[in-house]
Chain A
Amino acid sequence: MDITLPALRRSAQEMRIDIIKMLHAAGSGHPGGSLSLIDLLTVIMTRYVKRTPDNVSDPDRNRFILSKGHGVPALYAVLAKLGVIGHDELLSLRTIDSRLQGHPHNASLPAVEASTGSLGQGLSIAQGMAMTAKLDSKEYKVYCVIGDGETQEGQIWEVLLSAPMHKLDNLIVVLDYNKGQIDGSTNDIVNLEPLAEKLISFNWHVQEIDGHDFEAIDQALQNTQNYGGKPHFIIAHTKKGKGVSFMEHPTEWHGKAPNDEQAAAAIKELEATLN
């Protein structure tokens, strides 16, 4: 039976604590985009990808590609929560012998499915996996989270044109739309809007949700399951740094780790939500 959404919400808060601890231990990394992503990832991986330690290399498994590879602390936290990697291993993030590379590397850790971190590329890999499923008449689905800054990349728009041509209704793209990128606000740098209209005109099945509302996330993903003929695009409005009040800023916490005091304050704030 599926874990209830309130239980998943609590689980995501615990994983936020893991993310803070990992980044603090590593001394570098990307808290803002990991915290904006974790609610989405929790629902996707638990209820839809249904990743377990036993199905990591099952050829018929659902796939998940984190195209915005810098958010990988969130993915490692989820993989640990699901028992695919050890919880103790999380603190090895970004160290020399670790499987937990600074950005996903499938040859080090096959559970991440592909190597990403150069923005724009993971979505094409997801498209290819969805094409294999169609070619082989397999039922598995391919989920892919992309970033909003990443959506400025030309290669993303190649897939936006291409996937509907291949009728990849087994491809579910989720945009972590946190409105921030390194040099400023996404809207000020290269504005994606009006995004939903663009995607609809490109022949995608488009939904727009609050990416921190677990019911909305779950419902949107549920809506993709039996909607045939078009690839799916969920525009999930999120907040960069979500859950740690002083990190909730579009640019301040894109790519820096918390120091001792900041980590302690963040963990204290998150732990208070667990009671």
Chain B
Amino acid sequence: MAKATRLSFGEELAELGATHPDVVVFDADLSKSTQSQLFAAKYPARFFEMGIQEHNMIGAAAGMALSGKKPFICSFSTFVVGRFEVIRMSVGYTEANVTVVGTHCGVAIGEDGYSQMALEDIALMRTLPNMTIIQPADDRETKAVVRFLADYDHPAFLRLTRQGLEDVHGDDYTFEFGKADVLKDGSDAVIFATGGVVKHALDAASDLQADGMNIRVVNIHTIAPLDIDYVVQAAKETGKVITIEDHSIVGGLGGAVAEVLGEHHPTRMKRIGMQSYGRSGTPAGLYEYYGLDKNGLKGQIKDFLHKS
């Protein structure tokens, strides 16, 4: 069953409340959307409704982190990461143990349109030297990541979806922080995908297998610190690299992989993602429009493999 990673997050955080008395949760008037409401209902004294004051939410959470708490601060990613300079100073440079939880990432939020879509948040957060960035791809992985972050002692950014995601992992999945997660083997090319589009990438690669293209699919849940060794190894083994993300291709996963390969092992690359502002539409309609659905991905992957 498709499940939004924001819901998986909310459920797991509410579970962790019992075992992690230091965990506190902040929201900026979007708790029903971010699903921090699930924690709020169980632990009202440790939930802080800050109103529509994202700057102050970030700073107050930093103050609580500096006085011994483990804050998770929740909003739409574009609203919270959009207050980047406060994150930069009060969380990053201050080394405050705050997890920034940004939901409603990418064009897949649909009808609300560009103002609510985070398409640049990974790019911004990647510039902070001590910011860990994790984007899970399904329910199981999200819950494992939330458990990991509850015990993590550094600034972190957790990027979550509004839309439901199909499972890409089985019951035996173990989350390994900072490690590339190989979902499908292949030797003709490698796809690095992250977040909500991982399943689309996997489906596209499975279809292309039938056409004789043997494409590896790798889920990159930890965007920072990136698994540089694996990225370089996969580039060497396949010779062709594709990145897929519901985010700007500038500075996101595509940018991160390009930077690594440019320095360590220059390789032919195709970055698939957003290259414009978003717009309103149905989530499925927007993925088709921007070429991020299975068919759109297949076409772009085939073009790239035929040309290179």
> Interface code B125-146, partner A: CB below 8 Å = 1, 0 otherwise?
0000000000000000000000
A147 to chain B, nearest CB (A): 16
> Interface code A129-141, partner B: CB below 8 Å = 1, 0 otherwise?
1111101100000
Chain B interface: which of A70-78, A91-99, A118-126, A254-262?
Answer: A118-126
Nearest A residue to B53, CB-CB: A158
- Which of A118, A122, A155 neighbours the largest number of chain B CB atoms within 10 Å of its CB? A155
B residues near A136, Cβ cutoff 8 Å: 68
Do A124 and B89 have beta carbons less than 8 Å apart?
Answer: no
> Interface code B59-99, partner A: CB below 8 Å = 1, 0 otherwise?
11111111111000000000000000110111001110000
A178 contacts the other chain (CB 8 A)? no
Cross-interface CB contact of A107 among B50, B55, B88, B95, cutoff 8 Å? B95
B residues 24-68 touching A (CB-CB < 8 Å): 24, 45-46, 48, 50-51, 53, 55-56, 58-68
Do A106 and B67 have beta carbons less than 8 Å apart?
Answer: no
A111 to chain B, nearest CB (A): 13
B94 to chain A, nearest CB (A): 4
Contact A120-B61, Cβ < 8 Å, known A115-B94, A132-B67, A132-B69:
no
In the complex, A107→B95 CA distance in Å? 7
Nearest B residue to A127, CB-CB: B60
A residues near B67, Cβ cutoff 8 Å: 59, 63, 128-129, 132-133
Contact A117-B89, Cβ < 8 Å, known A106-B95, A128-B59, A132-B69:
yes
Do A115 and B90 have beta carbons less than 8 Å apart?
Answer: yes
A150 to chain B, nearest CB (A): 13
A161 contacts the other chain (CB 8 A)? yes
> Interface code A205-217, partner B: CB below 8 Å = 1, 0 otherwise?
0000000000000
A162 contacts the other chain (CB 8 A)? yes
A154 contacts the other chain (CB 8 A)? yes
A residues near B59, Cβ cutoff 8 Å: 121-125, 127-128, 155
A residues near B51, Cβ cutoff 8 Å: 161-162
A78 to chain B, nearest CB (A): 20
Cross-interface CB contact of B56 among A63, A124, A129, cutoff 8 Å? A124
Do A125 and B60 have beta carbons less than 8 Å apart?
Answer: yes
In the complex, A177→B61 CA distance in Å? 27
A233 to chain B, nearest CB (A): 16
Do A128 and B94 have beta carbons less than 8 Å apart?
Answer: no
A114 contacts the other chain (CB 8 A)? yes
A159 contacts the other chain (CB 8 A)? yes
B residues near A127, Cβ cutoff 8 Å: 56, 59-60, 63
Nearest A residue to B50, CB-CB: A162
> Interface code B233-254, partner A: CB below 8 Å = 1, 0 otherwise?
0000000000000000000000
Do B56 and A106 have beta carbons less than 8 Å apart?
Answer: no
Do B64 and A128 have beta carbons less than 8 Å apart?
Answer: yes
Nearest B residue to A105, CB-CB: B93
In the complex, A106→B95 CA distance in Å? 8
Contact A155-B55, Cβ < 8 Å, known A115-B89, A132-B68, A132-B69:
yes
- Which of B60, B61, B85, B93 neighbours the largest number of chain A CB atoms within 10 Å of its CB? B60
Cross-interface CB contact of A155 among B56, B64, B66, B69, cutoff 8 Å? B56
Contact A124-B62, Cβ < 8 Å, known A115-B89, A129-B67, A133-B67:
yes
In the complex, A117→B93 CA distance in Å? 11
Nearest A residue to B98, CB-CB: A128
A18 contacts the other chain (CB 8 A)? no
Nearest A residue to B48, CB-CB: A131
- Which of B24, B67, B90, B95 neighbours the largest number of chain A CB atoms within 10 Å of its CB? B67
B residues near A162, Cβ cutoff 8 Å: 50-51, 53, 56, 60
> Interface code A143-179, partner B: CB below 8 Å = 1, 0 otherwise?
0000000000011001101100000000000000000
> Interface code A80-101, partner B: CB below 8 Å = 1, 0 otherwise?
0000000000000000000000
In the complex, A81→B50 CA distance in Å? 38
Do A161 and B53 have beta carbons less than 8 Å apart?
Answer: yes
> Interface code B1-32, partner A: CB below 8 Å = 1, 0 otherwise?
00000000000000000000000100000000
Which chain A residues have a beta carbon within 8 Å of chain B's beta carbons? 59, 63, 105-107, 113-118, 120-133, 135-136, 154-155, 158-159, 161-162
Known contacts A120-B55, A127-B63; 10 further A-B pairs (Cβ under 8 A): A105-B93, A114-B62, A115-B90, A118-B85, A118-B86, A123-B59, A124-B62, A128-B66, A128-B67, A161-B53
A-B contact pairs, 24 of them (CB 8 A): A59-B68, A106-B66, A106-B95, A107-B94, A114-B63, A114-B90, A114-B94, A115-B94, A118-B85, A121-B86, A121-B89, A124-B62, A124-B63, A125-B60, A125-B62, A126-B63, A127-B63, A128-B60, A128-B63, A135-B46, A155-B55, A155-B59, A158-B53, A159-B56
